[in-house]
């Protein structure tokens, strides 16, 4: 197909709800994406076919052989990738192709369906090429693929995972004595590579795609499976269900009674256990880091509010030497307030007498635990529990003498505000 003049650099819009089954190329007027800007996503695959054409001289060929055309489009993008030198990326990031595939997809269920369909076609093509390679070469290929995603909240353990596997059915029929070994290979792959893949994907999805990954439902472990599963009808595609990781023997036999094969097997079991322990530590460390980030963010928000309250109630107490928290200094949602001095005698600033310690007009304070319980109970009894946070902030950030005024500012009735000061128990 001849390249047209109405080309656009990016396909950001389209009249189609999904690119899984778009209109036949050439039957729409959407500007075509140039050759050099084509990237691997469902939208650009459609534009690639618009460039390549659909052999219109053979009526109905594109419709009847659509799977063949789709496979050739996938091969177009895949050619040369295994030696393109672009294999490495940060441990905290997805490969750029993965991110582009998400960014160029439609939002919501339609985009998710598009990506799932595209990846399914890619798996089919991969298994097709492996089958052709084995049939043409007389060799044997084993492909084991671990899906990186699980139902949110599911433990990253092999008994909740499955592997999509390619292996020539004839090889399995001719070598039944190897079934157990092959099953162990797939199981070990899930226990090691598969578990690590899920852990890494989860961390990257939270960081780069902002997925919450909150638990949606309880998932049961896979049923017990022994040997090689049956393939999908007339295919070389096997789905292996992961099993619980094997445990080392509780009472190992003396080393002198173990053969070299038994020793190697025991070392392999211990290596698997070590990997599982490392994965557990990695998961817990990631969760701990997330909680610490949330805690630090909360502390910064409290500090920002305290500083803003100081600016509002005691502007003369803030000097040029004060350090403002990042959340206050940079947040566009809460710009710094204009400093307006209160009427009356200004609050004395820090003493400049060298022999005296610097005075502190007030300092954030924390009431005794008993006082905290008392004023929380008192506010709840008065139907003012929704003001607990504001009262706590006023107590911590202002002087004792200003509490009644601050309590009234946040909505506490004057009669209750006076009693509340007594309840707090810090009115010396």
Asked if residue 223 is part of any domain, the answer here is yes
pLDDT value, residue 140: 97
Asked if residue 267 is part of any domain, the answer here is no
**Domain shared by 186 and 105, yes or no:** no
**Domain shared by 44 and 117, yes or no:** yes
**Domain shared by 113 and 125, yes or no:** yes
pLDDT value, residue 250: 47
**Domain shared by 26 and 134, yes or no:** yes
Asked if residue 320 is part of any domain, the answer here is no
pLDDT value, residue 13: 40
Asked if residue 187 is part of any domain, the answer here is yes
pLDDT value, residue 273: 76
Asked if residue 182 is part of any domain, the answer here is yes
**Domain shared by 97 and 173, yes or no:** no
Asked if residue 260 is part of any domain, the answer here is no
Q: Give pLDDT tens digits along the chain (428 positions).
A: 333 333 333 333 443 335 555 556 666 667 888 988 998 888 888 889 888 888 888 888 888 998 999 999 999 999 999 999 999 999 989 999 999 888 887 777 888 888 999 999 999 999 999 999 999 999 999 999 999 998 888 889 999 999 999 999 999 999 999 999 999 999 999 999 999 999 999 999 998 888 888 777 788 999 998 889 999 999 999 999 999 997 644 444 444 455 666 676 677 677 767 767 876 787 787 778 778 877 887 887 787 777 777 766 766 655 544 444 443 344 444 444 443 444 444 444 444 444 444 444 444 455 555 566 677 778 878 888 778 777 877 887 788 888 888 888 888 898 888 888 887 764 43
Parent domain of 215: 140-246
Asked if residue 301 is part of any domain, the answer here is no
**Domain shared by 120 and 186, yes or no:** no
**Domain shared by 114 and 217, yes or no:** no
Asked if residue 39 is part of any domain, the answer here is yes
Among 219, 246, 273, give the residue marking a domain's end: 246
**Domain shared by 369 and 427, yes or no:** yes
Q: Is the pTM of this model over 0.75?
A: no
The answer to whether the CB of 398 falls within 8 A of the CB of 360 is no
Number of domains in the chain: 3
């Amino acid at each position: 197909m001849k390249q047209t003049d109405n080309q656009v650099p990016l396909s950001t819009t389209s009249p189609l709800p999904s690119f899984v089954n778009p209109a036949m190329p050439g039957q729409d007027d959407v500007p075509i994406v140039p050759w050099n800007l084509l990237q691997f996503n469902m939208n650009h695959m459609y534009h690639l076919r618009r460039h390549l054409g659909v052999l219109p001289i053979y009526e109905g060929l594109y419709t009847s052989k659509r799977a063949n055309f789709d496979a050739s489009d996938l091969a177009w993008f895949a050619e040369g990738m295994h030696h393109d030198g672009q294999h490495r990326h940060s441990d905290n990031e997805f490969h750029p192709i993965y991110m582009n595939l998400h960014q160029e997809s439609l939002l919501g269920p339609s985009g998710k369906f598009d990506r799932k369909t595209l990846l399914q076609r890619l798996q089919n093509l991969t298994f097709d090429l492996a089958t052709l390679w084995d049939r043409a070469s007389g060799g044997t290929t084993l492909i084991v693929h671990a899906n990186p995603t699980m139902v949110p909240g599911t433990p990253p353990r092999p008994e909740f995972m499955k592997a999509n596997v390619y292996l020539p059915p004839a090889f399995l029929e001719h070598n039944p004595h190897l079934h157990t070994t092959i099953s162990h290979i797939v199981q070990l792959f899930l226990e090691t590579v598969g578990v690590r893949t899920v852990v890494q994907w989860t961390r990257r999805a939270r960081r780069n795609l902002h997925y919450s990954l909150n638990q949606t439902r309880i998932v049961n472990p896979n049923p017990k499976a022994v040997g090689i599963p049956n393939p999908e009808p007339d295919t070389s595609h096997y789905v292996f269900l992961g099993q619980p990781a094997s445990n080392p023997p509780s009472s190992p036999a003396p080393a002198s009674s173990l053969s070299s094969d038994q020793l190697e097997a025991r070392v392999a079991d211990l290596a698997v256990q070590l990997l599982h322990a490392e994965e557990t530590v990695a998961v817990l460390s990631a969760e701990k880091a997330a909680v610490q980030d949330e805690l630090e963010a909360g502390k910064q928000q409290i500090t920002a509010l305290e500083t803003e309250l100081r600016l509002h109630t005691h502007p003369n107490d803030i000097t040029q030497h004060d350090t403002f928290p990042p959340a206050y200094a940079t947040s566009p949602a809460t710009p710094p307030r204009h400093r307006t001095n209160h009427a009356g005698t200004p609050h004395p600033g820090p003493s400049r007498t060298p022999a005296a310690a610097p005075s502190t007009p007030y300092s954030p304070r924390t009431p005794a635990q008993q006082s905290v319980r008392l004023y929380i109970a008192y506010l709840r009894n008065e139907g003012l529990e929704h003001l607990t946070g504001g009262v706590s902030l006023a107590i911590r950030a202002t002087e004792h003498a200003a509490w009644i005024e601050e309590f009234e500012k946040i909505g506490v009735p004057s009669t209750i505000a006076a009693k509340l000061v007594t309840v707090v128990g810090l009115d010396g």
